[in-house]
Structure formats: C-alpha cells, structure tokens
C-alpha cells in the first residue's frame, strides 16, 4: 500500500506550511484570494460537504463557471475523498441530466448563470441527494439545497481524508467529438504527475507567473492551465467566468498581468481575425496550444504579429494533460514536438508493427497520468486502454529527430484515388493563402461512392472557390486537392473548442453528388 497522498493538500497545504500563504493564488473578476485564504475556504467547505452528507468516493457533479467557487468545491471534494466531476457549462438541461444519471452523482454544484438549466435537469436525476448553490440563487428542487457560503462557514479544522496515489480523485468527461461523452476516471497521483512533467519541465512555470486560459476548467486542458499548474507551482490563476472571446481575454491579460496564455488553434485564429493590437500581450512570455493540431501558417501569422512563441502539444482527457509538445526555443512549426519527459510514445502501422521514421501510423502513449478507465464503458475501455499503452486514435509520423507530426484523427484520414490523404496537409496548404482564416477538410463520397476531399473555409477576405482549388493544385499532388470548397461563417466545435468533423462530414454527404462537381 502506497503512502498517503491527497492532491488537494499537494496543491494547497504545502504552500501554507512553507510560508507561502500570503502569495496570491487566484485573481480575476471574482477577486483576489491568497493561498492562506483559499486553504481556509477549502478546509471549511470540505467540512461543510461532510456535514451535508457527501461521502468518500461519491460523485459531485460541477456545473460551474471558472470562479473561486469552482476552485473551492473541486479542492474541497478531493480533500474529503469524494470525486468532483466538472462538466461542460454549455450543456442544455437534457445533456446535464444525462451526465447526472450516468455518473450517479450524489451532489450537484452550480454557479448562478446556470440555475435555470440545473433546475430542469435535477428533476430528471433520481439518485441526486443535494444541490449546492451560491448566494442569490433560488432553486426549486426535491432534494436539499445548500448555500456554498453556509458550507464555508464550518470550522477550519481537520486533516485531508486518507487517500493514496491510486485513490479515485476526479472524473472528466470526454468532449464527445465521436459520440456520447465518456467519464475518464483519474487518481490523486495523476495531478502530481502532470504538474511535475509538463508543468515543470515544459512550461517551466514559476511562482511569479500568472496563468490565463481560454479553455475552461471543465476541460482537461483548462483544468491544468487554470488550477493545477499554477497552484502546484505557487503561482497565480486568473479566473474568468464569462465565455472566452478574444477582446475579453486580451482585456483580462492586460488587467491582471498574464504571463502564460493558453488557448487552441481556433481561438488563436479568432484573435488574429479580431485584429487586436500587437502590443496588448506584451507581458505574456509564452503561449501554448492544444486540442487540435496548430497549422504552421497559423503559427507564423501569430508570431509575426505578437512575437510570442506558441508551444503546440497534444493531450487527451484520458491522459489528463499534454504528453507531447514543442519546447520553448526549439519549436518546429507544423509539428507537435517531442515526448514530454515521463511519457513514452510509439507509432504502430496498419499491421500493428512499430513504424519507422516518416512512416504513418496510430500514436500510442504510456505514462503515469493515464486514467484508470472509463466509467461504465467496458468495451470502450478495452479499445483505448491497452495494458500500459493508451491508443490515442491519432495518425502521426515521427522524423529522425524525434519530432512528431499529426496527420489527423485515424478515422478522419481520406483515401483518395487509392492513396491516403491527411486532412491536416490540405488544411495547411489552404491556410497558406492569405484570404483563408480557417480551413477544415473532410471526406465526401462522389457519384461513384469514392472518397474525395472537401474543404470548409472561413474566409478572411474575398476569394473564390476556383482560386483556392487552383492554389491547392499548385502546391499539392492533384489527388489531394479539395474537389469542392464550401464557404462558411464558422465551423462547428465541441464545448472545448475542438472542430466537430463528424458534423462537417454529415453536411458534406451531397456536396459531390452531381457529375459536374465530381472531377
């Protein structure tokens, strides 16, 4: 049996015990909170949760914006051995009810903006025992409703529950790009692992850093950026409860002195389209990207405008955070970088054999932050969690220097004219055109039921379909060119900002069905 370890104590108690209680832990529109104040609030809230009847290993679903309340509830639940489950705040009532039932949550915690949605969902969750609400929220429910301020009025005494490395700590639901979200179950030690690998050895996060994330904390990427990494390092998290927009995040970065900025390719593209002044991020020393591959042209536009490196990486909900990333001062645009210390990678080809350099295949990862599996998803767990290795479902190639390049999701690869086509390669070519702000390439069937590439494009300035197809033909082999370009105002995304290619594939079903468009 391993020694006692509680992730909440790892993130808070040691800073206070080592004399860092006066340092700022949280800032933003929700106010300034020091480490000592946050520790006091978490201990009180933990005791309040115990008194309200939350038991170790019971789930507490968190339908909460990024606020100090979120931080306090998440840390307090882990402190008493319960399992916080942050979920997307973009859910409607039926979706929230689905996750309440799926997780068998005993408690639900909300922030005020989501009270109406929660009230409808609670009526469809028969196993729910109680709801936690902030001041000013009136909720009609058939179960007890507790105010967070009342819970935080408990006595600030007591030690963390006697959890260990492998004790269940929290769940995170996958983003649902391929179907119903699945709950990845993480243990307490996973938090220490990602903080001491990616946080320490890639970000190099310092106590004087201030972290601002466009990705919200219900998302694995955002949870690390906005809570785990800053607290582990004794740094400061800038929490923003409102939906992320370029103008708002730029304002917050300036107002609260952000030094680390975290986003994804779509958000970086939106910032460039918003034409924000080049000097507004002058205090930011480093930016990171995850969620989907960052195209080299987008990286170049960003660095040309702002002069700040983007460290593109890949993480998964199942791995908690980033396990493959570029490094500061050694970025290779268009690649996802090299393995993060502490993680092993391999690429298997179609025969299940180790792929050589520059040979494509499915990426697998091994590391100590791997989830223990999916809750109540036996078949899916066996498919993804394969012994020590986790199957990412992404197609990659590795060069001789150990840099990895994503060719797309394995199921997103297109076989045109009998040859595999990477959507990412065609998207990169389209983004090289100055009139293209965003491009997503998917497969569509032509009149012979053969796959061909179709591009969905968000234009930055006027451009014609013929011009973009000709541009691709000039820079790519003919079979890789998109057979159609469909102009859209935006592309569909998940709550975590990933492109929903499944929606675009469905929209593309009839695009190539007329003979004159099948060239």
Q: Do both 451 and 368 map to the same domain?
A: no
Q: Do both 195 and 177 map to the same domain?
A: no
The tally of domains found in the chain comes to: 3
Q: Do both 88 and 198 map to the same domain?
A: no
Q: Do both 114 and 254 map to the same domain?
A: no
Q: Do both 267 and 386 map to the same domain?
A: yes
Of 358, 376, 409, the domain-final residue: 409
Note the pLDDT of residue 193: 98
Condensed to tens digits (0 to 9), the pLDDT of residues 249-261 reads 999 999 999 999 9
For residue 451, the enclosing domain spans: 413-517
Q: Do both 90 and 216 map to the same domain?
A: no
What CA–CA distance (Å, rounded) separates 28 from 13? 22
Condensed to tens digits (0 to 9), the pLDDT of residues 437-451 reads 999 999 888 876 677
Of 127, 155, 186, the domain-final residue: 186
Q: The domain that contains 14 carries what CATH number?
A: 3.40.50.980
Note the pLDDT of residue 417: 65
Closest of 418, 314, 332, 404 to residue 361, by C-alpha: 404
Q: Do both 399 and 424 map to the same domain?
A: no
Does a structural domain hold residue 2?
A: no
Condensed to tens digits (0 to 9), the pLDDT of residues 126-141 reads 999 999 999 999 888 8
Q: The domain that contains 367 carries what CATH number?
A: 3.40.50.12780
Query: Which three-class secondary structure state does DSSP give residue 76?
Result: helix
Cβ-based neighbour number of residue 307 at 10 Å? 12
What CA–CA distance (Å, rounded) separates 144 from 118? 14
Of 134, 159, 186, the domain-final residue: 186
Q: Could you give phi then psi for residue 214, rounded to 5 degrees?
A: -75, -35
Q: Do both 352 and 261 map to the same domain?
A: yes
What CA–CA distance (Å, rounded) separates 237 from 260? 10
Q: pTM for this one?
A: 0.85
Does a structural domain hold residue 35?
A: yes
Q: Do both 54 and 164 map to the same domain?
A: yes
Q: Do both 214 and 324 map to the same domain?
A: yes
For 76-96, b/e burial (b = at least 16 CB within 10 A) is: bbbbbbbbbbbbbbebebebb
pLDDT band at 178; cut points 50, 70, 90 = very low
Does a structural domain hold residue 1?
A: no
Q: Do both 369 and 245 map to the same domain?
A: yes
pLDDT band at 519; cut points 50, 70, 90 = very low
Longest C-alpha distance within the chain, in Å? 75
């Amino acid at each position: 049996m391993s020694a006692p370890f509680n992730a909440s104590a790892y993130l808070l108690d040691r800073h206070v015990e080592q004399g860092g209680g006066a340092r700022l832990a949280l800032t933003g529109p929700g106010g300034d909170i020091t480490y000592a104040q946050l520790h006091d609030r978490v201990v009180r809230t933990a005791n309040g949760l115990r008194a309200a009847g939350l038991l170790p290993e019971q789930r507490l679903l968190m339908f909460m914006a990024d606020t100090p309340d979120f931080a306090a509830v998440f840390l307090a639940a882990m402190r008493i051995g319960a399992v916080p489950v942050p979920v997307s705040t973009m859910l409607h009532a039926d979706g929230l009810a689905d996750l309440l039932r799926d997780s068998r949550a005993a408690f639900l915690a909300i922030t005020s903006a989501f009270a109406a949605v929660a009230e409808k969902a609670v009526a469809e969750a028969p196993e729910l025992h109680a709801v936690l609400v902030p001041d000013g929220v009136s909720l009609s429910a058939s179960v007890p409703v507790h105010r967070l301020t009342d819970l935080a009025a408990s006595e600030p005494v007591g030690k963390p529950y006697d959890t260990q490395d492998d004790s269940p700590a929290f769940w995170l639901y996958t983003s649902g790009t391929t179907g119903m979200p699945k709950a990845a179950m993480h243990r307490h030690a996973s938090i220490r692992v990602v903080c001491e690998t990616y946080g320490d050895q890639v970000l190099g996060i310092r106590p004087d850093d201030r972290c601002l994330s466009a990705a919200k904390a219900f998302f694995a990427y955002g949870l690390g950026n906005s809570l785990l990494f800053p607290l582990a390092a004794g740094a400061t998290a800038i929490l923003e409860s409102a939906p992320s927009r370029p103008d708002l995040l730029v304002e917050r970065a300036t107002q609260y002195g952000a030094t680390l900025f975290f986003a994804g390719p779509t958000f970086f593209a939106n910032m460039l389209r918003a034409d924000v002044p080049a000097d507004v991020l002058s205090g930011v020393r480093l930016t990171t990207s995850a969620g989907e591959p960052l195209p080299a042209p987008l990286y170049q536009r960003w660095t040309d405008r702002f002069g700040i490196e983007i460290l593109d990486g890949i993480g998964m909900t199942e791995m908690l955070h980033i396990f493959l990333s570029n490094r500061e001062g050694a970025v290779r645009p268009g690649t996802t970088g090299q393995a993060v210390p502490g993680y092993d990678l391999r690429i298997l080809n179609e025969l299940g054999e180790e792929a050589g350099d520059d040979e494509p295949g499915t990426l697998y990862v091994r590391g100590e932050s791997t989830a223990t599996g999916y809750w109540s998803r036996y078949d899916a767990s066996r498919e993804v969690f394969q012994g020590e290795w986790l199957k990412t479902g992404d197609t990659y190639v590795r060069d001789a220097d150990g840099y990895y390049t994503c060719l797309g999701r394995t199921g997103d690869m297109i076989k045109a004219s009998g040859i595999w086509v990477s959507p990412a390669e065609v998207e990169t070519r389209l983004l090289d055109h100055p009139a293209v702000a965003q491009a997503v390439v998917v497969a569509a069937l032509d009149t012979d039921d053969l796959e061909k590439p179709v591009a969905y494009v968000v234009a930055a300035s006027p451009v014609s379909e013929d011009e973009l197809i000709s541009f691709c033909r000039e820079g790519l082999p003919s079979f890789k060119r998109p057979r159609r370009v469909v102009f859209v105002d935006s592309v569909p995304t998940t709550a975590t900002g990933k492109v929903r290619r499944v929606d675009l594939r469905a929209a593309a079903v009839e695009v190539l069905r007329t003979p004159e468009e099948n060239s």
